[in-house]
Amino acid sequence: MGKAFSAVATWSGWLFFLAALATLAVLLPDSAFDKRNAHYWVALGSIGLWRYTLGAIHFVRAMIFLHYRFPKIRRQTAELQARGLPSAPVYLMVTSFRIDTTTSAAVYRSVIQEAMAWTGKATIVASIVEMADEQMIKMLWDRHAPPENVRLLIVRIPGTGKRDALAQGFRAISRDMPEDDALVAVIDGDTVLDPGVLSKTAPYFRTRPNMGALTTNEYCNVQGSYLMQEWHRLRFAQRNLNMCSMALSHRVLTLTGRMSMFRASIVTSPEFIRDVEFDHLDHWRLGRFRFLTGDDKSSWYSLMRLGWDTWYVPDASITTVEHPPDKNFVRASRKLMFRWYGNSLRQNQRATRLGWKRLGGFTWYVLLDQRISMWTSLLGISVALWGSLLYGPAMLMGYLLWIGCSRFVLTLLLAFSGHHIGPSFPTLLYYNQIVGSLTKIKVSFHLDQQSWTRQDTRLRRDLEPWQARFNRWSSPALLASSACIFAAVVVSVI
């Protein structure tokens, strides 16, 4: 009954969206296409052509990887495994802090079951803070009664942040003296492993000797409103396409903390542990500050700097249990975007300095585009609003019709990712474009401001009073100046 109702609601949503587009097309006056307004549409078309060209390149690359390159590598790996080679030792490290018991139990149950299904040695490393988590883990361990090839290692740490939890876990693995071919799966405390994820990921480290780490496909179980559920599903569908595109160059742009797998020789090296635990940025204006969030970006940057490849396995999946930080969709999405985009932008500037020779030309350009797109994504709506003031509301109506049609096509393309698509996706795509761009712009001038959505970990910098005042006033001043320059560009365009 629930599935039938959901199907009806989905089809009703699509019919409503298409009806709204048709109504807007009928109401659009002929004056919108007057020859005198030609330069307005040329300006909008030029902006759109620039932005959609990169999107089209990503889509084509993703399809090449998903339907040609990855299946070929998967076959080669399967042929190697068929020779009966022994499975590599695997460590499954889980970091947990302030996660509800139901979610934690589901996570550790899936980890124990996956370790038991692995044909080689498997060690579960639980990096935890609270005694209740330890008791729950031991209860699940006794209930499953794993075989001798599966071990449990509990690491108790103070609740000083995820970076410290990861570092302590890595050091515990290092003290265990892992074998040369050992692997480490880094798993977040709200990530449920889908069956077979180890067997679908670990073998690739044998066939790809320069691959330092890989990450997996993600689905989600959102404990929130319908809009928040669809917003997360949209994000993971986009993520899958982008990951496939970047994997074609062996350069995925993040090693998600939800579930990524590394060579043990990398995560146990003092240099890598130091990069994750004490990562920082030396900023020309804000000075030096440590990173509280974004451990996945730190691990990625460390591998790029050391010359390792990073990869993506689209048919190995996990399910994350998402708990939005606020019941209000707008507030929750803004908080999450502030954290996500802050992590990306803090790594972006120094990552591009590695150069195109180390990163590859396409990866280097994508990183550079992250800084440009936050402004260019606002050009369309800005030009449309200014054009409507100069030539009438028909300009804005035409722009909205274009947005509706183009986002509908983009949503249909997302279906090729293998993820669910819904009638709210076109609207949410545009919401992400505008609100996401505004958030990125704000973050780019306030890189030292960091926030967790689950724990109250704050950055204490002990700045001199003058430096603190300078940072407090210079950030909004530079933001306002940049906004004025952007407005001047918009006005000059039309």
Tens digits of per-residue pLDDT, 262-277?
999 999 999 999 999 9
Confidence band of 9 (pLDDT split at 50, 70, 90): low
Taking only the tens place, the pLDDT of each residue in 181-237 is 999 999 999 999 999 999 999 999 999 999 999 999 999 999 889 999 999 999 999
**CATH architecture of the domain covering 87-328:** Alpha-Beta Complex (3.90)
Q: How far apart are CA 339 and CA 257, in angstroms?
A: 14
In this prediction, residue 216 carries a pLDDT of: 96
Q: What is the pLDDT of residues 298-335, one digit of tens each?
A: 999 999 999 999 999 999 999 999 989 899 999 999 99
Q: 90: helix, coil or strand?
A: strand
CB 338 within 8 A of CB 451: yes
Predicted pLDDT of residue 389: 86
Strands, DSSP E only, in 16-140?
90-95, 122-128
Q: What pLDDT shows up at residue 456? A: 54
- Count of residues making up the chain: 494
Average pLDDT of the chain, as a whole number: 88
Angstrom distance (rounded) from CA 422 to CA 358: 39
Q: Which region, left, alpha or beta, applies to residue 224 given φ > 0 means left and ψ of -120 to 50 means alpha?
A: beta
Per residue in 347-367, pLDDT (tens digit) is 888 899 999 889 999 999 999
User: Which pLDDT tens digit goes with each residue over 107-127?
Assistant: 999 999 999 999 999 999 999
Mean pLDDT along residues 485-489: 91
pLDDT on residue 227: 93
Select the more confidently predicted residue: 93 or 32.
93
pLDDT-above-70 percentage for the chain: 92
**Residue 335: which of 427, 443, 234 has the closest Cα?**
443
Evaluate if residue 419 carries a pLDDT over 80.
yes
Sheet holding 211-222, edge to edge: 150-156, 122-128, 90-95, 183-188, 259-263, 211-222, 309-322, 191-193
467 Cα distance to chain centroid: 33
| Average pLDDT estimate for 424-431 | 95
Domain coordinates of the chain in residue numbers?
A: 87-328
pLDDT of residue 379: 87
* Helix (H) or strand (E) run with residue 183 in it: strand 183-188
Q: What is the spatial distance between Cα 241 and Cα 55, in angstroms, rounded to a whole number?
A: 10
Look at residue 417 and tell me whether its pLDDT is greater than 80. yes
Pairing of strands 191-193, 183-188: unpaired
Global pTM value: 0.91
d(CA 410, CA 430): 11
